Amino acid sequence: MSLTLLFLGKLEDVAGAPSLSLDVAQPLSLSEIAERLEPRLAVALSAANVRVALNGSLVGAGGWAAGNGDELAFLPPVSGG
């Protein structure tokens, strides 16, 4: 059973890959997911300006859990001009 993590923009550089698959036995919260990641990536994902989408829908920082078959995307802030 696996959970797919997608990293967009500069977060892909921090992660070293555009995606990562985590083996999960039960749904995990964001903090539980962060505990399984390398510290530098966990810190980058927990930044206040990083948005999170669970299966294509934006979610807040808490109150949800992601599990088997889910896709969790991390979206950094964008800038343009």
Per-residue pLDDT, 61: 74
Per-residue pLDDT, 79: 60
Structural domains of the chain, with CATH: 2-75 (3.10.20.30)
Per-residue pLDDT, 80: 59
Per-residue pLDDT of the chain (81 residues; tens, 9 = 90+): 899 999 999 999 999 999 999 999 999 999 999 999 999 999 999 898 999 999 999 998 778 999 999 999 999 987 655
Listed residue (55, 17, 15) closest to 34, CA to CA: 15
Listed residue (13, 15, 14) closest to 5, CA to CA: 15
